[in-house]
Structure 1
Amino acid sequence: MSLVLDPAAQDLLFREARTANTFTDEPVTDEQVQAIYDLVKFAPTSLNMQPLRVVLVRSAEARERLVNTLGEGNRAKTSTAPLTAILAADLNFHEKFHRTFPHFPGAKDWFLEDTTRADAAKFNGALQVGYFILGVRAAGLAAGPMTGFDAEALNKEFFGDGEHTVLAVVNIGKPGEQAWFNRNPRLDFEDVVTTV
């Protein structure tokens, strides 16, 4: 193998990792979530943009509000997950840009046009969603990412300011009984990679 990463870590993050559909009732602590974030915040994005915002859904009232915005197939597993994170893009991320890109004070001005800023927020936020899932796995937890939700209803329920847009909902915890569906096949190298 030409990979430097230890094979056990490769398995933990990729080969053996699966999307969990059931979880034990073992809690996920704030300290675990902070450790996940403190790791993945260093992953690359365009110009070091960090538009991702995370809402941790812990209370029964907030969970009910969230579940009502989800597709039918995602409701039961979200109702019983020990923790659910709503991952959203901050469409006004540029207001904090000076903190994440201090070497270029004019960088904030690049994003004064709303459509450019929204596109950048969604793209880089989506990159950060992927890193967040890997961080959950690195913490020894399982992630159950979902995009089966009514985005308009979810945004209205949790981001009524119009300055954020949901990207994904992720259930987090230790996998429970029969947590995995059968693994679907993946495309081979030859199906994906070309050389010019």
Structure 2
Amino acid sequence: MTDLDVTRDLTDFEQEFDSGLAISADVADQLFRRAATAYTFSDEPVTDEQVQAVHELLKWGPTAMNTQPLRIVLVRSEQAREQLVEHMAGGNKERTAAAPLVALLAADVDFHEELDRVFPVYPNAKANFADEQARAAAAHTNAVLQAGYFILAVRAAGLAAGPMGGFDAEAVSRQFFPDGRHRVFLVVNLGHPSEESYRPRQPRLDYDEVVTTA
């Protein structure tokens, strides 16, 4: 059986479940089924306007108490790119050097300072995060949640994302957030997909392996 046969069989199988969706099969394909980690991109640049459109979607994703700890640095200058590449591991060096745009996703440990403004229905909400250790954990959890929305929004903008965890997080955080209050947890290459962007999809766990009823 060829890769094309496998793709067609998978498409037929997935379409059996489209009746349970509120979006079209094409949209489901773009956001989930046909999108994967991108390893290469076309030469077309990613504009600031496109990244802003991505943010305008991701910002609506739900988080705990409307906390919004995600902070993003767009690595555009040659100097910043060279500094980042130094801290990437293995093959991620070459991918990061070649990507049209690289985004650093970080968690702002002091996100609670904005809570009285972004969560006014809960007076003095930031008092719930007085403990710095608990606040750092909440920052990471909700920023990672927002990172998922970020990747989906990137796909919705017609772009491809290559998220990577292989890098020296402490060094990258010090380099790009010298205040020490932001912790980079993900590096994402961004660009327009090319024919070679994606590798063959790997197996996923089935519904019965993941979902139980209590």
TM-score, normalization: structure 1? 0.97
Q: Secondary structure at the match of 1:53?
A: strand
Q: Is the 8 A contact 2:41 2:196 kept in 1?
A: no
Partner SS for 2:124 = helix
In 1, the alpha carbon distance for the partners of 2:99 and 2:117 equals 34
1:145 to 155, 158, 163: 163
**Is 1:15 paired with 2:33?**
yes
Amino acid corresponding to residue 43 of structure 2 in structure 1: D
* 1:31 corresponds to 2:55: no
3-state SS in 2 of match to 1:178: coil
Q: Confirm whether residue 74 of structure 1 aligns to residue 92 of structure 2.
A: yes
Runs of 5+ consecutive residues of structure 1 not aligned to the other structure: none
1:176 Cα offset (Å)? 2.8
**Which residue, out of 155, 158, 163, partners 2:176?**
158
C-alpha deviation, 1:157, in angstroms? 1.0
Asked whether 1:188 is paired with 2:176, we answer no
**1:155 CA displacement:** 1.1
For these two proteins, the number of residue pairs brought into alignment is 196
* Amino acid of the structure 1 residue aligned with 2:85: V
Question: Deviation at 1:108?
Answer: 0.7
- Please identify, of 95-104 and 183-192, the stretch whose mean Cα deviation from structure 2 is larger: 95-104
Residue 94 of structure 1 aligns to which amino acid in structure 2?
Answer: H
Q: Which moved more, 1:34-43 or 1:171-180?
A: 171-180
In the aligned structure 1, how far is the partner of 2:120 from the partner of 2:86? 41
Query: Counterparts in 2 of 1:120-131, with a 5 A limit?
Result: 120-131=138-149
Q: Matched residues in 1 for 2:195 and 2:86: separation?
A: 25
Counterpart Cα distance in 1 of 2:123 and 2:186: 31
Please tell me whether residue 59 in structure 1 is matched to residue 71 in structure 2. Answer: no
Task: Return the alpha-carbon distance in structure 2 between the equivalents of residues 179 and 137 of structure 1.
Answer: 13
Q: What do you get for the CA RMSD once the two structures are aligned? A: 0.9
TM-superposed CA distance for 1:99, in Å, is 2.2
Kindly provide the CA deviation profile for residues 40-75 of structure 1, in whole angstroms up to 9, marking residues without a partner as x. 100101111100000000000000111111111111
2:188 corresponding residue in structure 1: 170
**Where does structure 2 lack aligned partners over 5 or more consecutive residues?**
1-18
Q: Secondary structure at the match of 2:137?
A: helix
Larger radius of gyration: 2
Query: What percent identity do the matched residue pairs reach?
Result: 57
Q: CA deviation at 1:177?
A: 4.4
The 8 Å contact of residues 54 and 150 in structure 2, kept in 1 or not, is answered as yes
Q: What residue number does 1:5 align with?
A: 23
On the 8 A contact 2:88/2:167 being kept in 1, the answer is yes
Moved more, 92-101 or 139-148: 92-101
CA positional deviation for 1:181: 1.6
